[in-house]
Chain A
Amino acid sequence: MIGLLTVVVVVLAILAIVQIVRVFELSSEVRKDDERENQLKANDYNGKLMLLFLVLMMGGFIWGTIAWWDIMLPKAGSEHGVKTDNLMALTMIVIIAVFMITQPLLFYFAYKYRGVTKNQKAEYIEHNNKLELIWTTIPAVVLAGIILYGLTTWIDIFSNEFDEEPIYVEVYSKQFGWNARLAGEDNKLGYANVRYIKGANIMGVDPDDINALDDRVVSELYLPVNKPVVFRFRSQDVIHSAYMPHFRLQMNCVPGTTTQFAFTPTVTTSEMRQDKGVMKRVDNINKLRMEAGEEDMYEFDYVLLCNKICGSAHYNMQMKIVVVEESEYNDWLKKQTTFAEAI
């Protein structure tokens, strides 16, 4: 019954609007409105609205940047992350500058040159080689700079050159969770394949590989600060993506192959918790959580999230990462069960 009524109401509303629009159009015909005169008026107010829009857009942009400054990621917790952030800052300055120049030009011209009189005439300009050369060359030069800086950073990130022996850690993904495997005392990861998955051997580690015996499988990962770490990523079922936003690190986990990302964490979790920017964000979040009636308070932690659509619980696939001093890491490592003990 309600459905039927809704349909009737909608149909009647449409009919009513049709009639209203019709009345307006007829009255305009009766008044013999001059079409061109009409368009000039429309040009006038739409041109002014264009200018108003420009003000709103620029105002909104500045307001948003200030108001939402503190929701953006805090400082980077890794060595390459600092470089990425610098590159990002420079790129942002360039693109915001271009944004702040071109948008005002566009909307200001739309306002300034709106046709408001019948005699207004446009200037006949076909092209201008000099101008065109300028705005081809300047972007080309600026981009060359950005490309060069970007590629240097990129090559630097993937150079895989270390001052000391890195720690090897396998990050293992499946629907819907993460595990990590530490290489143990020999710092060599044993061979693994999904065909070995059986009982407690959830990551499919080859039990006959001697390198595997001292490997440790964990569900919460500790890392020592200022030591290079090589992540080897695997997936058991579909593609996942290991995203660690605070380290500015991301790599897909692809079934059937291993991917890799090497980095050095430079800030321990407890240092990060003391960081002013982080504290500000955490306080704000806790204030919001209290307002929403949440009981437990949020505390900063490095986190690994899944960033490639992987199924129904994609939105809740996480692992905590704790960066600690090396001695604390060693203590923690000793407490973890080795693969040999587990099976």
Chain B
Amino acid sequence: MAQVAEHLDGTTAHDNHDAHDHHHKETFITKYIFSTDHKMIGKQFLITGIFMGLIGMVMSLLFRLQLAWPEQSFPILETLLGKWAPDGVMDPNIYLALVTIHGTIMVFFVLTAGLSGTFSNLLIPLQIGARDMASGFLNMVSYWLFFISSVIMVVSLFVEAGPAAAGWTVYPPLSALPQAMPGSGLGMTLWLISMTFFIAGSLIGSLNYIVTVLNLRTKGMSMTRLPLTIWAFFVTAILGVLSFPVLLSASLLLLFDRSMGTSFYLSDIFIGGQVLEHAGGSPVLFQHLFWFLGHPEVYIILLPALGITSEVISTNARKPIFGYRAMVGSILAIAFLSFIVWGHHMFVTGMNPFLGSVFTFTTLLIAIPSAVKAFNYITTLWKGNLQLTTGMLFSIALVSTFITGGLTGIVLGDSALDINVHDTYFVVAHFHIVMGLSAIFGLFAGVYHWFPKMFGRMMNKPLGYVHFWITFVCSYGVFFPMHFLGLAGLPRRYYANTAFPMFDNLVDINVLISFFAIAGGIAQVIFLFNFFYSMYRGKKAEQNPWRSNTLEWTTPVEHIHGNWPGELPTVHRWAYDYSKPGAEEDFVPQTVPLQPGEKATGH
């Protein structure tokens, strides 16, 4: 393996000389825009992701205003939504568009590209000891495809009839027929085109990650010595490669139905006063294809966050991650199971009840590896010497939301129980907590932890703590009460709950949720400020500020092309020798050879 690495990327002296030359030839455009350097590409993913996240968050605040104070006038709505909020009152169609685009942006643009894109790019070469990705050029293409898809998605917000509004799952026929809702016109076409670019970018990126992890590990970096971050990114990339193409086919077939008169998803439809020609298609087919991606997608979002957490918790607990092999095993088990559970999104589509039974069985099995992970995190804290940095706090918060949200999954994955809570706010609570919050906390943990690696400066600590506590409290404040709304039978995606007097007693809870949402939104301004301020004015970082074992902290603070001056580091141990008895310090970097008489850890 090491030889392959040498061959492909060069650890020899003359190659380093080349790297040195590149450094001098760099112009603004090659360094900051069409960069092929994985560290720069990681930062590009992060900043694009943060920008998209800002849009997604503001959208959520707008519809929270509508949900707490339905059909009341807010000048801000008129300012931001213009003709879609006449006199400051939101139009029902734009409400649906906001929830749709909020979901799309958060799931794909922030938590897939912004999280996995950022940290896979930044950390894979640095933590496995490679000069760069296997293909720097494809890596650049991957980012720019993502960028194009972001631009198209943002442009779609400004089309005449409004952006896509059929929910982020874009179920046909609603998404297929412009007669069904204004958002299913040009807005939907742009949504599908944007996703096509997104998937292409994601595939190229994932293939690159897989090849890099398999082929470019430095000498001594066996698979069982990989930090858990890399395991998570690696398995995530495999999930992406296997599942995203299915979404691509699903969207292409939807495009055909929309513009070429095919009937993959459409049959027997009477709309706008006439019967459509379409016959023989099945709307449920789309759901099968969509969720064949959609469920692995949940883990494409979550696994990188769990990987980041493993690394941050272990480093800051000054303790090895508890049960490394079980952690790797549970990542693999979760990844495998994620491919055979998609039907739990479709218990009430009328599919054969026998299938419902199968999917209930496979779905609830996921609780076992998830429980193993949760217990291992908790045990890693046990008897530790916890350094509660901002990254660590976000990681602990992630474990908390992972447990809370995971537990309600046991209700939703049980087909008999799903009947009555399906598509209610119980589901909204569940997936926001287990996937949304956990992943965004993982993203924050990663940003706070690797900020010094990315920008060579530290983020401001007190601001980080303020940001964390407001965010954490508000997150639970927003999503926990939603369980009760769901158990009251309140359906999601309702523009207003006023049409049903039976929901009149839910007004107070909705107001409470909106207050927490607004406070949580304001707290993100602190983060943005801290991020950009620290980028330019933050305190200069030391080489290894968290006293961590992994290879990225053996590179110089100042970024260089090729990561390490001179030879690539050689790895002698796993990444988790924290507080090892007999060692002088409470950490032993992976590059330190085994000392005479030191017990090997079996890695």
Listed in ascending order, the chain A residues whose CB lies under 8 Å from chain B are 14, 17-18, 21-22, 24-25, 29, 38-39, 42-43, 46-47, 49-50, 53, 56-57, 60-61, 64, 68, 70-73, 81, 83-84, 87-88, 91-92, 94-95, 98-99, 102-103, 105-107, 109-110, 113-115, 120-128, 131-132, 135-136, 139-140, 143, 146-147, 150-151, 153-155, 157-158, 174-175, 193-195, 197, 204, 233, 236-239, 241, 243, 245-246, 248-252, 254-260, 281, 284-285, 288-289, 292, 298, 300, 303, 305-316, 318
Contact = CB atoms under 8 A, between A and B. Distances in A.
Q: Is the interface of A mostly helix, strand, loop or mixed?
A: helix
Contacts of A238: 173-174, 177, 180, 271
Contact of A121 (B385, B422, B504): B385
B384 A113 contact: yes
A293 to B, nearest CB: 12
B529 interface: yes
Nearest to B94: A312
Contact of B174 (A115, A243, A309): A309
Contact of B361 (A107, A147, A250, A292): A147
Interface residues of B, number: 124
B353 A316 contact: no
12 contacts: A68-B509, A71-B509, A72-B488, A84-B416, A106-B377, A109-B382, A132-B326, A150-B364, A239-B173, A252-B348, A285-B502, A308-B171
A266 to B, nearest CB: 16
A127 B317 contact: no
Contacts of A243: 423, 489, 491
B270 A194 contact: yes
A308 B424 CA distance: 10
Contacts of A175: 180, 271
Interface stretch (B115-123, B198-206, B406-414): B406-414
A21 B463 contact: yes
B417 A254 contact: no
Contact of A106 (B357, B403, B581): B403
Nearest 10 pairs of A and B residues by beta carbon: A256-B267, A259-B350, A245-B489, A316-B499, A298-B501, A158-B353, A194-B270, A315-B494, A46-B388, A109-B381
A143 B323 contact: no
Given A102-B374, A113-B384, A314 B407 contact: no
Given A72-B487, A110-B386, A131-B379, 17 more contacts: A21-B460, A71-B509, A107-B400, A122-B384, A122-B586, A124-B580, A124-B581, A125-B322, A154-B415, A236-B269, A248-B420, A256-B283, A257-B282, A298-B504, A308-B423, A315-B497, A315-B499
A84 B420 contact: yes
Contacts of B515: none
Interface stretch (B244-252, B303-311, B472-480): B472-480
B469 A49 contact: yes
Nearest to A289: B504
A95 B408 contact: yes
Contacts of A92: 411
**From A68, A285, A318, residue with most partner B Cβ within 10 Å:** A68
A132 B380 CA distance: 13
Nearest to A287: B505
A115 B386 contact: yes
B383 interface: yes
A70 B506 CA distance: 11
Contact of A135 (B375, B501, B581): B375
Contact of B473 (A53, A135, A143, A313): A53
B389 interface: yes
Contacts of A298: 501-502, 504
B356 interface: yes
B325 interface: yes
A309 B533 contact: no
B131 interface: no
A306 B174 contact: no
B493 A309 contact: yes
B85 interface: no
A141 to B, nearest CB: 10
A106 B396 contact: yes
A46 B174 contact: no
Interface stretch (B152-160, B186-194, B365-373, B560-568): B365-373
A127 B323 contact: yes
Given A46-B465, A127-B322, A147-B360, A91 B350 contact: no
B284 interface: yes
A233 B350 contact: yes
B211 interface: no
Nearest to A152: B416
B269 A237 contact: yes
**From A29, A123, A157, residue with most partner B Cβ within 10 Å:** A123
A61 B483 CA distance: 11
Contact of B578 (A105, A122, A318): A122
A256 B277 CA distance: 12
A21 B529 CA distance: 11
Given A121-B586, A122-B385, A238-B177, A150 B417 contact: yes
A43 B387 contact: yes
B267 A255 contact: yes
B570 interface: no
Interface in B138-170: 166-167
**From B173, B372, B505, residue with most partner A Cβ within 10 Å:** B505
Contacts of A135: 371-372, 375
B414 A47 contact: no
A14 to B, nearest CB: 7
A307 B423 contact: yes
Contacts of A284: 505
Contacts of A305: 491, 500
Contacts of B420: 73, 81, 84, 88, 245, 248-250
A135 B372 CA distance: 7
A254 B283 contact: yes
A314 B416 contact: no
B368 A236 contact: no
B500 A251 contact: no
A106 B322 contact: no
Contact of A39 (B364, B384, B387, B488): B387
Nearest to B576: A126
**From B270, B403, B423, residue with most partner A Cβ within 10 Å:** B270
